Structure 1
Amino acid sequence: MFFPVARLRLLASLLLAPVLVASRDQSLFTSSVTYCAPPESLLVEQFDIAYYAKNQSIVFNISAASVDPNTNVNANLFLNVYGMQPINVSIDICSLFGGALCPLPLYTFNGSDSISLPQSLNIQSRFPTIAYSIPDLEAFAQLTLTDVKTGDVKACVQTTLSNGWSTHQYGVEWATASIAILALAVAIWQSVTQGDCALAPIRFVDTISLFQTIALSGLLSLNFPSLYRSYTLNFAWAMGLFSASTTSSIQQSINRMRHLTGGDPSNSGGNGAIDFVNRKLSPYNSQTLVLPESLSRLVEAPSVALDFVKSFFPYALTTKDPHVLVGGDVATVTQDSSNVLQAGIPIYTNSIGIATANAFMTILFIGLILAAILLASLALVYGATVLLCRTELARRYPEIHGFRSRYPSFARAWGLRGAMVSSLPILVFAFYQWTLKDSWLSVLLSVLVLIALMAIVLPDVFFATRASISKGKWSGLEAPAWVAPLTSPYRPNRVYYVIPLLVVMVIKALVTAFAHGHGTAQIIIFVVLEFLFLLSTIALKPHRTRGADILAGYLCITRLVSSGLMIAFAESLAVKPIPRVAIGAIVAVIFSVAVVVMFLNILVNMGLWRLLIFAFTCGRRGRGVDHATLASQSSDASMVEQGNYAGTSKGLEEKDSATVDSATVDTTKSQDFPGRPNNPTPPSTASFSPKSLPSATSSTTLGETLPRRWSFQHSRPPSISTDGPYSPAYTYRTSTASSPISGQRHSRNISSSVPTPLDEHHEYEKYEARAV
């Protein structure tokens, strides 16, 4: 169910975007309106304008009013596209319409219509074709009215332009969420059926960590291009941030709580970020907030026929109505405004409708909801297990009783995984809440949550790493079963690798929260951390398989390269907008490839590759009947990593040992690989009886027949005549059907103490001597 949904949405988002762009009408429209100077002569309530390139028409819905009498103004129209200024003209208003607009009439303009522009304007030449298809267009238009006599600014309005395309898509959000849900479902199934060392739960945590890494990069105080900032918003849900509105019940409750506990009510808005973004950042890319107050250069109005404007002016202009002139919700953003959003967490959270001061409480509420869901699910599973143990099904499947016996460790392990995936967002926003000095209750709750998180994680880290760190009194101790989320990804002597992993996460959270406003320092620290982390991964090779080390190294390289490229987004470097957009697109592609890799890894862990092989080969690439049992035991081991974690349970080992003859192999669990398939070992010399010895005329074959490509070519056994009348058949030594070295082919370190076959002839002669 999850696979088709995730696949179709992922393909639709990543592959079909160019087709969708080509099928949509090319258009530009206003996406936000703000005053760039305190309004004096012009009040704007609504300013919606859209331009369609197909028929060169304009659709508008404007509500504005002039309130200052006897005002003669000049107009300046300024267009900024990626830092460039294709249009920057000043128009003498008094020369239009025979001076009807000079002085500016006290009119309220309420109009909406669709008009076609004349060909003489040649608007198409002003905008390149790419402007209609590039996602997250960075362009804004500014209209400034200045007094003719004094040069003072009477009105200044800025409108950002958009073409309707963005890298922030609900389809991408649902696709990534579907990947996470699929990984969670596979992780739960494998943890139930394969035990604590299953691979899927490890990859589930890795997938969520990758999503959180992408979202965390958008929280840095860098001048991200709008394209990349919008891309990171697709993964905001991994940080516990879901799109909201000011009318949502959660946000209203948080606002009331903050208001009652010393919070600043003015910091309760979350209506969007574009209106309030610092004008030096994307999408404005402007070093000055408004044009100079004195416009010394006036150019003549374009020599075009303006009769089409006169056609709708008589119907659009009405007399002054004081009840309408309220200014609307248009915000005033100037260089001295306190409501300007700076780069980092403020822009990120407000872009999805969450006020900056509400971010931590939002994550806390989401975390409590998920914790309640987790506890309820564990309780339901335990109740279902208890009921199943009382049915006839449990007698036929003893594994149900085994699962019930290990259920406490199973529940604690999943509680630890929940704490692991929630640690990064809690740390980042709890630390950031301390810097706001907003609500004492929010700060208190952040401290309590951090203490609870440490009480859950730190003891388990100690129990997991004590045996791998110290060679003293803790050496030889085995980690409890419930710390499998910390121990199962790594080799027993490399479990301490968890400590640098946690240290890096804490440092990133501290840098993101307390170094806000210093984006250059943030990204340099991130690059250094990722570089050191990559070196430690290469040097230690902590994971159980080469495939796992390769995957971990690939993710480290992805983070390192992406962090290195994001240095170009530092404000101090002042990189031009177009190169920044190109670099942002490259970083987004790098992270997208990593997401696809993790998605394919999940599909491999599900075993769908075997289904594909079976489908493509029509079942002919199967295994013979003579080795069907072996194939069933080691089918998971043939994949990149899964075979090393898909270990057998104790019940399976007991079942195997019970069915094998007393003179057969003694299967033991590998210390290096607790989950890999069991390998046969030579028979024990502890007990020998005449009944267990083979006769001279019979042969015994122990173990199971290996596939032909894994079999070994034995030498011809000696004949009875050459070895004596009491020499047993040599075929008795075929108990070592699988070489210990070949059985450890998936192991990183082959055991140096390889057991040697028994000398059956010597033992048999001793038995004959005693018999005589």
Structure 2
Amino acid sequence: MWFSTLRPALLLSAFSAAITSVAGEALLSSSSLNTCQEDSMFTASLFKVVYTPSNSSAALDIVATSSVEGSVVFDIAISAYGYQIIRTTIDPCTVGLAGLCPMTAGKIPLTFNLDVGEAAASQIPGIAYNFPDLDATVRVFLNMTETGKSVACVEADISNGKTVDLIGVKWALAIVAGLVLCSSAVINGLGHSNAAAHIASGALSLFGFFQAQAMLGLTAIHLPPVVQSWTQDFQWSMGIINVDFMQDIFTWYQRATGGTPSTIFDSLTTVSVQVEKRALDVFPEAAVNMYRRSAALIPRAVGHLAKRANIMTGSGSYLVYGIQRVAFKAGIETTNLFMTGLVFFCLLVLFTILGVAAFKGWCELAAKQRWMKSDTFLEFRNGWLTVLKGILFRLTLIGYPQMSILCLWEFTQVDSPAEVVLAVFFIAGMTITLGWAASKVIRIARRSVAMHRNPAYILFSDPQALNKWGFLYVQFRASAYYFVIPVLGYTLVKSMFIAFAQGSGTAQAIGFLLIEAIALIAASVLRPWMDKSTNSFNIAICAVNFINAIFLLIFSDVFSQPPLVNGVIGLILFFLNAIFATILLIMVIISTALVFYRKNPDGRYQFMADDRTSFMKSQSQLTGTTELDALAATARGDKAGYKPGLDLDDDNESISSESMRRRTNTSTNLAVPGASPVGAQPRNFNRPQSPVDPAVPLFPANSGPPRAPSPYGGSQASTYRSQNNPSPAAYRAQNNASPWQRGAGYDH
């Protein structure tokens, strides 16, 4: 009987944001009451209810507005994961609900506790208190007793306080991704370039999967509670991290630059916040109509908030969806979201610069104090600035999905004029930078193909180019150097759908489906990554992303499927992605750990079929002796002549560019030894030249049999050798280091 008394309140009131619970305590709660019928005559701007089975009581705090007068009957439906488990009717006059029998028009504030009997409590299954992100809903129709007509409809979402949105999971994922990326850089600095390339490729693919999970949560499509919480675990990869003192700074900055911050969290004690329950394009017209009718009654400041941040319903509560939903769940005011992502990206760049500089200083100190061998990390120490440039480019690539979404979304919000300027600067700057870098790689690869019939030659033989631009192509096979262009286009188009289609969940779902289908087909057909295992790794990620896009389309209710389908699909999405993410993490962690365990990390991986290892320095292949340097130079083609006119687009930091300009400068063109200066002709490097001086007679009158001067002896031969065919040692002495020692090895 007492449970029947509680049902129209507890299950009626289980509607909106969650109430923080004592860890480990069993409870059922709700924090908002949502309308589910147009022209509903009963609404609640504040609704909080908590049922604790330990003391068999329920605490209710309600501020409701009713336009209903007369006797009503409550028609109650309780469902879990879309499956209706209880359907009953309750007469408030029969159970003795004061103030509701009969109902009167006006504002109804109610704060009271209800005792729940043992019989009522026994009807609630134990799993309801323990399964995370419980997807349970109570819907109540208020029907007039005399006519049977429904005059109001309210519904509530019930939470048990358990969730998969855990701070520990976020920290674990972030730490693993960061350590693997740092490990690839350390391994590369030790000279194991092949192993470093594989680890960096896996780490970047893993991080991209994390960002794809976060993007699911940023869509304006209704997601089941478990999916919302699961995607919230990855929002750190988009820079959405709540730090209280930083939020205060962002609010001050917005006010100082002419903006009006939202104050949702300041009003939670008096106003409920509704997390949308279905796709916006099929959302009940009641919410939109109520917003329109109430717009004229909302104060100017609140109206500005409703326009830019959330929808205020006619009941006085707020409706959050899509990007705003993510911000609300993260505890961030929606008007501070852009600045939050922007500042954390800038902090990542800043701390990376400081970390690389500090590591450079430590290496120099350790080498000077003989804490480590003098040749350890020698390449990094000699070319650390070039390495740093490559790292910053890589951070730009990693942060591009995050900044493209937030910057484009800021154009629709206009939080303040200064923030719009920042959005323009970052989206334009990052897009132009990555586009120019990609075009640079393509131009270098085309020159390499034209000269050596192999794009890998210049892309991988020049340490400076590899350090600076390798972040764009090292994870792909050499012939697929261009694939970074489709990757950037994929990211930008996906970001546009998220940022600009927040008002239409169906548009976002269809856009995601097309984008992920094209990505999966391209990855499966072209297989652009460096080897078979890396291709399989990335194709699997594309396949899971495509499946998730199909699930999004189902969640958008475009098929008008029963609610039970959404509940089941939500659980499938969670378990599929959780299992897949765990497998990816285990694979990346094990592969990284094995690299540190093995004496020869490069030996664990097959050499790529594009012959990149013939042009790259690897510690496991070369010992740095003069003879092996000479053999490697021959393999790379250093002794072969260069075609005149090669210019890597004036990149003066490229070894290849320097050597090309040095060899093609007319001031250094050589004539045949001993020839007249007037008749000297430019040296043709494509044709072998005889070392014999034509000015010396072949048959001198006062000598024996004629013999050409040896190119390996005598002062004239020495002059010839130093000018035309220097030995590796002489070439290194002339240039202060071997070409492999002048860079820092490519970095990941």
| Code of the aligned partner of 2:500 | F
**In the alignment, which of 334, 344, 360 is matched to residue 356 of structure 1?**
334
Q: Give the Cα–Cα distance (whole angstroms) in 1 for the partners of residues 376 and 40 of structure 2.
A: 75
**In the alignment, which of 161, 164, 186 is matched to residue 161 of structure 2?**
164
Aligned residue in 2 for 1:701: none
**In the alignment, which of 413, 420, 424 is matched to residue 401 of structure 2?**
424
Cα deviation, residue 568, structure 1: 0.8
TM-score, normalised via structure 2 length: 0.65
| Code of the aligned partner of 1:542 | P
| Code of the aligned partner of 2:458 | E
**In the alignment, which of 250, 258, 261 is matched to residue 254 of structure 1?**
250
Structure 2, unaligned runs of 5 or more: 1-22, 289-309, 460-464, 638-748
Contact 1:603 1:609 in 2 (8 A): no
- Give runs of aligned pairs for residues 6-155 of structure 1, distance below 5 A: 27-32=27-32, 47-52=48-53, 58-63=56-61, 74=72, 76=74, 78-82=76-80, 83=82, 84=84, 86-93=86-93, 96=96, 111-112=112-113, 115-117=115-117, 119=119, 122=120, 124-125=122-123, 127=124, 130-141=127-138
1:219 equivalent in alignment to 2:244: no
1:645–1:77 distance in 2 versus 1, CA, 3 Å: farther
1:78–1:193 distance in 2 versus 1, CA, 3 Å: same
| SS in structure 1 of the partner of residue 206 of structure 2 | helix
Cα deviation, residue 240, structure 1: 0.6
Contact 1:79 1:141 in 2 (8 A): yes
**In the alignment, which of 175, 195, 200 is matched to residue 178 of structure 1?**
175
Q: Give the Cα–Cα distance (whole angstroms) in 2 for the partners of residues 503 and 42 of structure 1.
A: 46
Aligned residue in 2 for 1:347: 325
Q: Give the Cα–Cα distance (whole angstroms) in 1 for the partners of residues 316 and 67 of structure 2.
A: 31
How big is each residue's C-alpha offset from its partner over 1:543-573, in whole Å with a ceiling of 9 and x where there is no partner? 2221112212222222222222322111332
Cα deviation, residue 431, structure 1: 0.5
Aligned residue in 2 for 1:580: 566
Contact 1:202 1:485 in 2 (8 A): no
Q: Give the Cα–Cα distance (whole angstroms) in 2 for the partners of residues 91 and 582 of structure 1.
A: 33
1:179–1:555 distance in 2 versus 1, CA, 3 Å: same
Aligned residue in 2 for 1:478: 458
How big is each residue's C-alpha offset from its partner over 1:278-322, in whole Å with a ceiling of 9 and x where there is no partner? 35469x9989779xxxxxxxxxxxxxxxxxxxxxxxxxxxxxxxx
Aligned residue in 2 for 1:762: none
Of stretches 433-442 and 227-236 in structure 1, the one that deviates more from structure 2 is 433-442
Contact 1:73 1:145 in 2 (8 A): no
How big is each residue's C-alpha offset from its partner over 1:636-665, in whole Å with a ceiling of 9 and x where there is no partner? 323478999999737776635447799xx7
Of stretches 196-205 and 637-646 in structure 1, the one that deviates more from structure 2 is 637-646
Contact 2:191 2:620 in 1 (8 A): no
1:416–1:541 distance in 2 versus 1, CA, 3 Å: same
| Code of the aligned partner of 2:435 | L
Q: Give the Cα–Cα distance (whole angstroms) in 1 for the partners of residues 434 and 380 of structure 2.
A: 24
Aligned residue in 2 for 1:558: 544
Contact 2:36 2:284 in 1 (8 A): no
How big is each residue's C-alpha offset from its partner over 1:235-278, in whole Å with a ceiling of 9 and x where there is no partner? 0101111246xxx2322332333344443445765888983233
1:539 equivalent in alignment to 2:533: no
Cα deviation, residue 214, structure 1: 0.6
% identical equivalent positions: 19
Cα deviation, residue 452, structure 1: 2.8
Cα deviation, residue 505, structure 1: 0.8
| SS in structure 2 of the partner of residue 451 of structure 1 | helix
Q: Give the Cα–Cα distance (whole angstroms) in 2 for the partners of residues 385 and 94 of structure 1.
A: 81
| SS in structure 2 of the partner of residue 517 of structure 1 | coil
Cα deviation, residue 442, structure 1: 1.4
1:649 equivalent in alignment to 2:617: yes
| SS in structure 2 of the partner of residue 218 of structure 1 | helix
Structure 1, unaligned runs of 5 or more: 1-22, 291-331, 612-630, 672-772
Contact 2:42 2:65 in 1 (8 A): yes
| Code of the aligned partner of 2:428 | I
Cα deviation, residue 342, structure 1: 5.5
Number of residue pairs matched by the alignment: 574
Q: Give the Cα–Cα distance (whole angstroms) in 1 for the partners of residues 481 and 103 of structure 2.
A: 79
Aligned residue in 2 for 1:746: none
1:99–1:265 distance in 2 versus 1, CA, 3 Å: closer
**In the alignment, which of 583, 586, 596 is matched to residue 582 of structure 2?**
596
- Give runs of aligned pairs for residues 619-638 of structure 1, distance below 5 A: 632-633=599-600, 635-638=601-604
- The Cα RMSD (Å) is 4.6
| SS in structure 2 of the partner of residue 493 of structure 1 | helix
Contact 1:285 1:577 in 2 (8 A): no
Cα deviation, residue 106, structure 1: 11
Aligned residue in 1 for 2:698: none
Contact 1:278 1:341 in 2 (8 A): yes
TM-score, normalised via structure 1 length: 0.63
1:657–1:364 distance in 2 versus 1, CA, 3 Å: same
1:275–1:69 distance in 2 versus 1, CA, 3 Å: closer
Q: Give the Cα–Cα distance (whole angstroms) in 2 for the partners of residues 562 and 106 of structure 1.
A: 44
How big is each residue's C-alpha offset from its partner over 1:437-475, in whole Å with a ceiling of 9 and x where there is no partner? 342221111011123323542332222222335656998
Contact 2:129 2:160 in 1 (8 A): yes
Higher relative contact order (CA 8 A, sep 6+): 2
Cα deviation, residue 170, structure 1: 2.5
Q: Give the Cα–Cα distance (whole angstroms) in 1 for the partners of residues 565 and 65 of structure 2.
A: 44
Q: Give the Cα–Cα distance (whole angstroms) in 2 for the partners of residues 215 and 98 of structure 1.
A: 46
Contact 1:431 1:510 in 2 (8 A): yes
Aligned residue in 2 for 1:516: 502
Q: Give the Cα–Cα distance (whole angstroms) in 1 for the partners of residues 392 and 402 of structure 2.
A: 17
Contact 2:438 2:484 in 1 (8 A): yes
Q: Give the Cα–Cα distance (whole angstroms) in 1 for the partners of residues 66 and 536 of structure 2.
A: 70
How big is each residue's C-alpha offset from its partner over 1:75-113, in whole Å with a ceiling of 9 and x where there is no partner? 636344245372452424388399997698999865457
Aligned residue in 1 for 2:275: 277
Contact 2:259 2:415 in 1 (8 A): yes
